[in-house]
Chain A
Amino acid sequence: MIGLKEVTQMNPENLIPVNLIATSTIPIVVIAIYLGLLLGLAMMSKLLFRGTSTDYFVASRSIGPFMLLMSVFGTTMTAFALVGSTGKAFERGVGTYGLMASSSGLIHAACFFLIGIKLWSFGKKYGYVTQIQFFRDRFESKAIGYLLFPILVLLVIPYLMIGVIGAGKTIMGVTGPKGKAPGMFPELFESTNGAVPGELTGLVICLVVLCYIFAGGSRAAAWANTFQTIVFMVMGLLAFYLISDKLGGLGAAIAQANEAHLVRDVSGPEGKVGVPKLMFLTYMLIPLSVGMFPHLFQHWLTARSAKSFMLTVIAHPICIMIVWVPCVLIGLWATGKLPEGTPGGAVLAKMVGILVKDPIVVGLVTAGILAAIMSSLDSQFLCLGTMFTNDVVLDKYGKEHFTDKQIILIARAFVVGIVILTYVFSIILFEKNVFDLAVWSFSGFASLTPLVFAALYWKGATKSGAFASIICAIGVWLYFFGASGFGGEYTVLNGMMPVAFSFGAGVIAMIIVSFFTAKPAESTVNKFFPKF
């Protein structure tokens, strides 16, 4: 049997060797095939590369409705979509969906409609490829770029590490020892008991993403994201179907779940099950982060026309439902199958491993998890390269000093640098709880959303107001981030999320300071509030 090192026992129930998953290399073969297909497809898109910097950064603004939906949805759904949703439902119960998914359905789509279309319009009209270019013009200040740039980079880098560390931990779980059975490669990786080490997985993931981003830029990212989004949506549904089947159907599956997890009321030791009402309310601010994600801004700018947004705005809440409802249900079913205290990040893999057992399915579901991770990684790597090139180098030395080929070369060099930096950080911080870090990253971006709303909808928003909003929002965010021990789960006043304070600080600072400082020039107002 291919890839099977030893078969010592057979499970009489379904005639599948009980230690098959631990010792069979089939899951790794499936994952390798997936990575090969992804790389092949993304590299094929290079055939469409037009060789210009506009094509590298924003795909010559030529992406149609379906690819825009897939790339925007794939980018907003990280490993959290499959692994985090299942784990959180296992820990906190049914409230996870309302807490993180349905609120996102409304607010993400609102951001695409109210922010995305406007920014796309200004990007199209004035040739912007980064957020900072827009803010510099809107607030008549080069300095605002130098304030925003490090903040955006520092908020994206943890988000990048979430992906690389998450991938490493996922593969370690799949290839590691199961019970008495050794890991998949006991002779090759003695120090990890036969599991593929996290740093090796991180290296492979980074190299695959780097290959196609280096070659094809934004267009390759859009193609790869479309493929990856389809993969992780299908694999989530596949896991749902197979697990429910093994549990005796949907009714039997939910019947054996822990009852405390079927309601949002807080219960359990230290109130860890359920969702505090203040947390549920203030968590609604976190999805606002999509209004300030630089990598999402770049995807918006790739749209062929404003009409490309229509499908994204309408279908995004439905896509969230398709991915999250099955995963939340798997998390609820797991409360009747797995011991309390099982790490949230391991719940989906354990449910597939214990119940489905088929190594091909394990490989497919793992490929789905990697797809969810990589569909965010590629856009983030590219956006940081784009920001360094346009907001630092070209801004400092002038675009006229470089040929288009040199601009692409600079962007590629920055992308390579960012990938190396992310990889090194992910090795150093491998043991960090990545999902808690994700919420802090989202909170930081959400705190900056008042800036973009004011820039787009308030003629009276001033340069000083913008500076005050950024400094106050990030100052308050940093205070709570420090109080949490730099990345742990943290709430105040019996469940309130810190984002409520940092977002509020940004709003108040913007309004008060703008009222008392010099208004933008009439030419600027006319530029960004045109009369039709």
Chain B
Amino acid sequence: SKRIIIAIAIVLAFLHHDTWNWGNSDLVFGFMPVGLFYHACYSLAAAILWVFAIKFAWPKGLVDWAEGGDSNES
């Protein structure tokens, strides 16, 4: 699941380059340039990706280990 999350993140990073909208000045909803709309959707996609990351790739072992006893906290 961690590898799938990382793979999706890498795909998103490439999709972010968004070559097909580079010269497109169409407006979405009559006020938002298509390039801005695409990247705003991309922000939402990033948030959704991290929802899945937390659901399926949460570092439970590390966190339980850190939150367990035997801490050096002063």
Q: Would you call A325 an interface residue if the criterion is a C-beta within 8 Å of the partner chain's C-beta atoms?
A: yes
Would A306 and B30 count as touching, CB distance under 8 A? no
Rounded to whole angstroms, the CA-CA distance of A280 and B16 in the bound complex is 10
B65 to chain A, nearest CB (A): 6
A106-B49, A125-B72, A265-B22 in contact; A254/B62 too (CB < 8 A)?
no
Within 8 A of B (CB), among A107-134: 109-110, 113, 117-118, 120-122, 124-127
User: Who on chain B is nearest to A321 by CB?
Assistant: B43
Q: Which of A101, A121, A127, A305 has the most CB of B within 10 A?
A: A121
Would B33 and A306 count as touching, CB distance under 8 A? no
Q: Is the interface of A mostly helix, strand, loop or mixed?
A: helix
A127-B72, A262-B25 in contact; A121/B47 too (CB < 8 A)?
no
Q: Would you call A336 an interface residue if the criterion is a C-beta within 8 Å of the partner chain's C-beta atoms?
A: no
Would B62 and A117 count as touching, CB distance under 8 A? yes
A489 to chain B, nearest CB (A): 21
Quick one: CB contact mask for B36-57 with A, threshold 8 Å, 1 for yes?
A: 1011101110110111011000
Would B62 and A121 count as touching, CB distance under 8 A? yes
Q: Would you call B7 an interface residue if the criterion is a C-beta within 8 Å of the partner chain's C-beta atoms?
A: no
Would A98 and B35 count as touching, CB distance under 8 A? yes
User: Who on chain B is nearest to A120 by CB?
Assistant: B66
Would A125 and B30 count as touching, CB distance under 8 A? no
Q: Would you call B4 an interface residue if the criterion is a C-beta within 8 Å of the partner chain's C-beta atoms?
A: no
Would A318 and B50 count as touching, CB distance under 8 A? no
Residue A97 contacts which of B12, B27, B40, B72 (CB distance < 8 angstroms)? Answer: B40
A95 to chain B, nearest CB (A): 7
Residues of A within 8 A of B53 (CB): 113, 313
Rounded to whole angstroms, the CA-CA distance of A532 and B71 in the bound complex is 16
The count of chain A contact residues (Cβ–Cβ below 8 Å) is 56
Rounded to whole angstroms, the CA-CA distance of A120 and B61 in the bound complex is 14
Quick one: CB contact mask for B6-22 with A, threshold 8 Å, 1 for yes?
A: 00010011001110011
User: Who on chain B is nearest to A305 by CB?
Assistant: B67
A125-B72, A250-B31, A305-B67 in contact; A317/B62 too (CB < 8 A)?
no
A102-B40, A251-B31, A254-B27 in contact; A124/B71 too (CB < 8 A)?
yes
Residue A254 contacts which of B16, B31, B59, B64 (CB distance < 8 angstroms)? Answer: B31
Residue A113 contacts which of B16, B40, B50, B63 (CB distance < 8 angstroms)? Answer: B50
Would B39 and A263 count as touching, CB distance under 8 A? no
User: Who on chain A is nearest to B61 by CB?
Assistant: A532
Would B44 and A321 count as touching, CB distance under 8 A? yes
Residues of A within 8 A of B44 (CB): 317-318, 321
Q: Which of B12, B18, B25, B70 has the most CB of A within 10 A?
A: B25
Rounded to whole angstroms, the CA-CA distance of A124 and B49 in the bound complex is 27
Rounded to whole angstroms, the CA-CA distance of A239 and B61 in the bound complex is 46
Q: Would you call A499 an interface residue if the criterion is a C-beta within 8 Å of the partner chain's C-beta atoms?
A: no
Within 8 A of B (CB), among A260-318: 262-265, 277, 280-281, 284, 305-307, 310, 313-318
Rounded to whole angstroms, the CA-CA distance of A371 and B65 in the bound complex is 38
Would B50 and A102 count as touching, CB distance under 8 A? no
Residue B65 contacts which of A121, A254, A313, A321 (CB distance < 8 angstroms)? Answer: A121
A121-B66, A281-B17 in contact; A317/B46 too (CB < 8 A)?
yes
Q: Would you call A205 an interface residue if the criterion is a C-beta within 8 Å of the partner chain's C-beta atoms?
A: no
B17 to chain A, nearest CB (A): 6
Known: A97-B35, A125-B66. 11 other contacts (CB 8 A): A53-B74, A98-B35, A103-B16, A117-B59, A262-B35, A263-B35, A280-B17, A307-B63, A317-B44, A332-B33, A530-B65
Chain A contacts to B: CB under 8 angstroms: 53-54, 61, 94-95, 97-98, 101-103, 105-106, 109-110, 113, 117-118, 120-122, 124-127, 250-251, 253-254, 259, 262-265, 277, 280-281, 284, 305-307, 310, 313-318, 320-321, 325, 328-329, 332, 399, 530, 532
Per CB-CB distance, the 8 closest pairs between chain A and chain B, nearest first, are A532-B61, A121-B66, A250-B31, A102-B39, A306-B63, A321-B43, A127-B72, A106-B46
Chain B contacts to A: CB under 8 angstroms: 9, 12-13, 16-18, 21-25, 27, 30-33, 35-36, 38-40, 42-44, 46-47, 49-51, 53-54, 59, 61-67, 70-74
